[in-house]
Structure 1
Amino acid sequence: MKTEYFKIIKKIKNVDIKSIDLVWFLLFPILNINYIVAANIVESGKNIELGFDRLIPFESIFIIPYIYWYIFITIGLIYILYKSRSEYIKVFIAITIGMSCCYVIYYIFPTQIIRPVVDKSNILNKLVNIIYLKDKPFNCFPSIHVLNTYFIMRYTKFEYNKKYFYYTQTVGVLIILSTVFIKQHFVLDIIASIILCEEIIFLINKIKSESLNKILDLPLRIKNRFDKNNEITY
């Protein structure tokens, strides 16, 4: 009976800790300030289109996986957290470093894509035009869409769940392809993102687990200190 009680308590504590781990999601709006700034300080950028890019047709159907990216990343991160806290902090460190590298490049090497004129004859085309309106055609290299997608694909392990792994890899590939089929990115943007991801993963694998645990437990330590300072003494 005692053993079962302690198991239940341990599970509750693990749920509480993992809930606190979600605080790392706050990094996204902070990092994305740079995207807004970088897009608004440039008036033009370098065109890095290849001949192969011109062979890729515009396909508005790919707006579906492109928009689904937001859900894909959120679900992916929560799933990785559910399966492994250590992998979760690795992917968050990877995303933070990767996005920071992208923003530095956007500031010093702005790029620009010339988008096609898309009619509003159907709902998919209308969605593409909304994306075009909201997202300026600057700062494509490397692609953050590809970067974060690739990290989720790489940190989702086959041994966690076979079906979910196949879902991640399949949808991830569709999202990556969507960036060129709706003319949001060039082929070089995809290549640069994947190379950057692999380099970052290589570096993160060199970090000792003790150091990763210290970073991972930072929000919990802050919470515990805050709770301690706010204890009421009778």
Structure 2
Amino acid sequence: MNIWKKTGKLLKKYSHAWVFLYVLIYMPWFTWLEHRTGVRYTMVHSPLDPYIPFVEYFVVPYLLWFFFISATGLYFFFTEKQSFYRLAAFTITGMTLFLIICTFFPNGQNLRPASFDHQNLFTQLVQIIYATDTPTNVLPSLHVYNSLGAAIAIAHSSRLKKHRAVRTGAYILTALIILSTVFLKQHSATDVFAAFAIALLVYPLVYVLQEKKVPKLMKQPV
């Protein structure tokens, strides 16, 4: 009986885990976008792109994105339910808009270098990324958008206000991740600007308006 009671308490405490079910919508949709055929892609380009050099060392912050997003999401999941819901609302809204944009506006880029001037561990990691990630469905950059979402959530966190080093480190990592998308030629500068534009649209809905009128979902006890 104690086991069932403990299980019930855990389910009640972490009832907000239902948010992770979004992966059941996102992954099939994204997989379909990546593998659909007979589609004419619009190549995304910016006048700034030719002036941005390829720098393989940015593969480090680019890969750290996966840890950064996961760690931020799990931190708020276990510590701040309201912050978790806001982060989830921000990221899910942006990711859904990304899916819709790529569905009706198939896009890609042809910025990747055909070869590297030299071979090292960093270029090898870039080659792995190129081999596993197609240069399609790039607008807006989710690397940029989700990094902004994590940084915004950290900035609004009441628990992290006293931890200046953590906040500063998160902001620096966010900036490096954003830069990595263009220095690795994974994205055009246009993809970056588009991610910022969507973030500016979503931010007031998730944070500014919610601070004035907190929805019932946010009022659930932590």
- TM-score computed with the length of structure 2 as normaliser: 0.82
Q: Do the aligned partners of 1:47 and 1:111 also contact (CA within 8 Å) in 2?
A: yes
Count of aligned pairs: 204
Structure 2 counterpart of 1:230: none
Superposition pairs of residues 1-234 of structure 1, within 5 angstroms = 19-28=14-23, 30-42=25-37, 43-114=39-110, 115-119=112-116, 121-157=119-155, 159-205=161-207, 206-207=209-210, 208-213=213-218
How far apart, CA to CA, are the structure 2 residues paired with 1:17 and 1:55? 53
1:158-181 Cα deviation digits (max 9, x unpaired):
615211111110001111111001
How far apart, CA to CA, are the structure 1 residues paired with 2:140 and 2:73? 21
Q: Do the aligned partners of 1:18 and 1:82 also contact (CA within 8 Å) in 2?
A: no
How far apart, CA to CA, are the structure 2 residues paired with 1:48 and 1:181? 16
Structure 2 counterpart of 1:224: none
Q: Do the aligned partners of 1:60 and 1:128 also contact (CA within 8 Å) in 2?
A: yes
The 3 A distance-change label for structure 1 pair 136 and 61 is same
How far apart, CA to CA, are the structure 2 residues paired with 1:159 and 1:192? 29
Q: Which runs of 5+ in 2 are unaligned?
A: 1-8
The percentage of aligned residue pairs carrying the same residue is: 26
Instruction: Decide which moves more: 147-156 or 37-46.
Output: 37-46
The 3 A distance-change label for structure 1 pair 50 and 37 is same
- TM-score computed with the length of structure 1 as normaliser: 0.78
Larger Cα-atom Rg = 1
Secondary structure class of the residue paired with 2:161: coil
How far apart, CA to CA, are the structure 2 residues paired with 1:145 and 1:28? 17
The 3 A distance-change label for structure 1 pair 183 and 18 is farther
Q: Could you list the structure 1 runs, at least 4 aligned residues long, displaced by more than 3 angstroms after superposition.
A: 15-23
Displacement of 1:36? 1.6
How far apart, CA to CA, are the structure 2 residues paired with 1:197 and 1:32? 21
The residue identity in structure 1 corresponding to 2:192 is I
The residue identity in structure 1 corresponding to 2:115 is V
1:66-118 Cα deviation digits (max 9, x unpaired):
11111100111122334421111011011111100001000111221112123
Secondary structure class of the residue paired with 2:33: helix
The residue identity in structure 1 corresponding to 2:175 is V
The residue identity in structure 2 corresponding to 1:195 is A
